[in-house]
Amino acid sequence: MPNPKHRHSKTRTRKRRTHYKAERPATMVCPNCQETKLQHRICPNCGYYNGRSIITPKA
Ligand SMILES: [Zn+2]
């Protein structure tokens, strides 16, 4: 198995990891209630998806 010959510095690791970043989740405005919701998910505010009521939201 190929193995690294030398340990590399913390700086080198951290420099590489500067490119790792959490992505913002894809959101959209609900066409029924105008609330922000996740795409391809039932709206947690009004319970609508694809133009019809799927669930009844709690209170
Ligand atoms: Zn909604």
**For residue 8, what pLDDT is reported?**
93
Ligand 1 centroid – CA 33 distance (Å): 4
**For residue 57, what pLDDT is reported?**
80
Ligand 1 centroid – CA 10 distance (Å): 47
**For residue 58, what pLDDT is reported?**
77
End-to-end CA distance of the chain: 59
**For residue 35, what pLDDT is reported?**
94
Ligand 1 centroid – CA 30 distance (Å): 5
pTM of the model: 0.60
Copy the structure tokens of residue 5. Answer: 């010959």
Which ranges of the chain have pLDDT less than 50? none
Please report, to the nearest 10 degrees, the dihedral formed by the alpha carbons of residues 28, 29, 33, 39 taken in order.
-10
Ligand 1 centroid – CA 57 distance (Å): 10
